[in-house]
Amino acid sequence: MSKVSIKLPNSLHKQLRECANAEGTSIDQLIGSAVAEKLAALLSPEYLETRAKRASRKTFEAALRTVPDVEPLEFDRLPNQALQQKAAQRSKRRKLGRQASGGR
């Protein structure tokens, strides 16, 4: 663990203390989780950019081929009729694409 000393306005420190009490945690734990959340938000674009650079169309299509081409269960269907029609059209295009590529 590292020790960090920070200066806060009295009003912010008061709110911090009240929130920590309401959460049943210490000020240190609340600050630690707040910093972790902020870092996650700041680092997400870099993480996603790094992952995107490693991506390949070939790997993506290979993963898609492992997904069964079946109708979704009722609870997993799109709620809007127009969206359902678009999804059905995409499914038909995928089937035609597979047939044209030799059934893969």
Q: What is the pTM of this model?
A: 0.46
Q: pLDDT (tens digit, 9 = 90+) per residue, 20-59?
A: 999 999 999 999 999 999 999 888 998 889 989 999 999 9
Closest to 101 in 3D by CA, of 71, 62, 70: 62
Burial track 34-67 (b if 16+ CB lie within 10 A, e otherwise): eeeeeeeeeeeeeeeeeeeeeeeeeeeeeeeeee
> Containing H/E element for 82?
helix 81-100
